[in-house]
Structure 1
Amino acid sequence: MFVTPFVDVANEFGVPSYVFYTSGAAFLGFKFYIQVLQGEQNVEFNELKDSEAEFTIPTYANPVPTKSFPPTLFRPGSEIVTFVNNIAKGLRKMRGIMVNTFSELESYAIDSFSNDKFQIRPVYPVGPILDLASSSGTHPNYDTIMRWLDEQPRSSVVFLCFGSTGSFSVKQVTEIANALEKSGHRFLWALRRPGEQVEGVRA
């Protein structure tokens, strides 16, 4: 997603340029913050790999420890930091950024953009935009899950989803599952299978 060349052409012809950002508002702010660290503060990310440092990122309510950063940022010789930096530069040139989220889900992150902490153009929450008509990627028990959710009292279910790369070891899955079970709360967990097989775990 190298947006800069397209924005430059649009600006040359006086065409308003907007972009649809498919990730959340908090992660959008994370990308802008990475640009600041790398481009303005000259932070060497590979030196932060085992650091206990925490960073105050405007789109996050609490300080974010470096151990929560994407691991690819710390790989020596990795071009991911430059890639993110280029994306952020291009996004800054946009007339506005439409984000696939909604205020009730990410109010803190969206408000941080309204306060102009990043000095960028307006951010518009336009989601959630979902492809409900497509069957690709739909869980085989989708109908059963939705019926079960409809039967539960309002605001009584805890939903856990750790993203497309959020898999855990067997030990971690077991600990999380035990904690959820002992909590006594209803929960729905989008659990991705890690490299090693997860067996004997009730979720």
Structure 2
Amino acid sequence: MVRKRLISHHRFHVTCIIPTIGPPSTALKQVLNDDQTNPNDSKLDVVYLHPVNFHDLAAVKAETQVFLAITRSLSPLREVLKSLKANYSENLVGLVVDGFGTDAFDIAEELNLSSYIFFTSSAMILSFCLELPQLDERVTGEYRAMGEPVRLPSCVPVHGGDLLDPVQDRSNLAYKLMVYHTNRFRLADGIILNSFIELEEGAIQALLKEERHASKPPVYPVGPLIRTGLSGPVLEDQSECLKWLDGQPSGSVLFVSFGSGGTLSFRQMNELALGLEMSGQRFLWVVRSPNDKVSNGSFFSLRNDNDPFAFLPNGFLETTKARGLVVTSWAPQAQVLAHISTGGFLTHCGWNSTLESVVHGVPLIAWPLYAEQKMNAVLLTESAQIALRPKVNDENGLVGRGEIAQIVKSLMEGEEGKRLRERVKEVKNAAQKVVGEHGSSTKALADLALKLKKRTCLYK
């Protein structure tokens, strides 16, 4: 989304260079194809690098593969950038990578390019990443065993067990790679952040103040950047969701979705179903087959491709058909959240889903599964105060049906839900302003664009 604004608002030509660990997903190709066919995006090119493999590493976790994907793609990346440099000469001014791609900074320096990080999560997590190298030196043992929570500048305290998944085992390669990359954040010419001050005021203000220190690069809060609208033609099951919502009262439906890859165990899936039934509330649930390897699974784990409906409690679909719709695998999330009938969102707390909910003014039930989502849940419940978080049973690691029913009713018809609804409305209005013509996010992106354009002047 940053690339689209740089193209449309600041007349940049953008080339997306994509390292791969296999064939590009259909979703990724569709997004980029849509962007390329948009008349406003005629200055967008896409280059897929040859897939890397990990045959030399045994039992590599998916997050480790993500960390290593760019490192093992440096040689072809260098060749692509050298080719672009030859074509564009001094007009090739910068390289933007994600937080796992800091090894590419060395190539950028070779070619006299500015280096930037596009940070795709929250300011709180960026603050943690900037602090991690120092934490690694200070703390002994595992973070989850610490007696005191981690305290980040102007953020709510975070208990060790709620920190990012890759830091939960300090002996793991993923942790060592994360410390390595976050230590290199300071080498960036700037960090582009997909968030905005009204959502994370304390954390962002602290990051902006810390720019004055030589060890911290400038931060550009340019969010919220989200994709809107359906990509491609409306399929029958997508249309079914929206038609069903058309027939529901305003603000009455809880949307339940765990993102593009989130799964639950069989027992947790059943507790969720029974909790939704007990709540008596309307719901639209995107359901997937359970993953019984862990209580809270993800696409990082083994998936079961059987019919998800076969794992629901007996009679559940029949009992709830008057007030609930269950669909498999996918729903048009942006359209669902924008629909007037949607009054709440039970989410895994992925940052894209979070921002989509904020932009559409929908309060949340925070149900984190993996990656950075527990930290996002802390931010949403304790700092931004736009979400409720159910309690997990410590004995079995499950959220019970009674807890689910209670928290769903509280969000959809209780006083706490009303308070959250008012708060998220304020944040929604702020989100509209910051990306407006004179908004803070628009100005931050303009400042970045000006900084990049000034590099071309240095050569002339």
TM range (shorter): 0.5 to 0.7
The 3 A distance-change label for structure 1 pair 128 and 85 is same
User: Equivalent residue for 1:159?
Assistant: 255
TM-superposed CA distance for 1:30, in Å, is: 4.4
1:184 has 2:276 as partner:
no
Separation in 1, partners of 2:112, 2:173:
32
TM-superposed CA distance for 1:148, in Å, is: 3.1
Q: What amino acid is the match of 2:172?
A: S
1:73 has 2:167 as partner:
yes
Aligned residues: 194
User: Equivalent residue for 2:186?
Assistant: 92
Separation in 2, partners of 1:187, 1:102:
29
Pick from 204, 207, 213: which aligns with 1:116? 207
The within-5 A match list for 1:1-203 is: 1=70, 2-8=100-106, 10=108, 15-38=113-136, 40-45=137-142, 48=143, 51=145, 53=147, 55-56=149-150, 58=152, 63-75=157-169, 77-99=171-193, 101-103=194-196, 107-108=199-200, 111-116=202-207, 119=210, 120=216, 121-124=218-221, 125-129=223-227, 132-133=230-231, 141-163=237-259, 166-196=262-292, 199-201=311-313, 202=316
Separation in 1, partners of 2:166, 2:256:
24
Q: What amino acid is the match of 2:183?
A: K
TM-superposed CA distance for 1:128, in Å, is: 0.7
**Partner-residue secondary structure (3-state), 1:171:** helix
Separation in 1, partners of 2:190, 2:288:
34
Q: What amino acid is the match of 1:92?
A: R
TM-superposed CA distance for 1:55, in Å, is: 2.8
Moved more, 165-174 or 54-63: 54-63
RMSD: 4.1
Q: What amino acid is the match of 1:144?
A: E
The 3 A distance-change label for structure 1 pair 115 and 155 is farther
The 3 A distance-change label for structure 1 pair 76 and 192 is farther
Separation in 2, partners of 1:127, 1:4:
22
Moved more, 8-17 or 82-91: 8-17
Q: What amino acid is the match of 2:312?
A: G
Separation in 1, partners of 2:208, 2:151:
10
**Partner-residue secondary structure (3-state), 1:77:** coil
**Partner-residue secondary structure (3-state), 2:207:** coil
Task: Check conservation: 1:95, 1:122, Cα contact below 8 A.
Answer: no
User: Equivalent residue for 2:362?
Assistant: none
Which structure 2 segments of 5+ residues have no match? 1-69, 71-99, 211-215, 293-303, 317-325, 327-460
Separation in 1, partners of 2:152, 2:126:
11
Q: What amino acid is the match of 1:146?
A: L
Write the deviation string for residues 11-41 of structure 1: whole angstroms up to 9, x where unpaired. 6776443232344545444434544422x42
Task: Check conservation: 1:4, 1:86, Cα contact below 8 A.
Answer: no
Separation in 2, partners of 1:178, 1:71:
29
Q: What amino acid is the match of 1:44?
A: G
RCO higher in structure (CA 8 A, sep ≥6):
1
- TM value normalised by structure 1: 0.65
Separation in 2, partners of 1:36, 1:134:
46
Q: Which has the larger radius of gyration?
A: 2
* Structure (1 or 2) with the greater helix fraction: 2
Separation in 1, partners of 2:209, 2:235:
38
Which structure 1 segments of 5+ residues have no match? none
Identity %: 25
Task: Check conservation: 2:166, 2:178, Cα contact below 8 A.
Answer: no
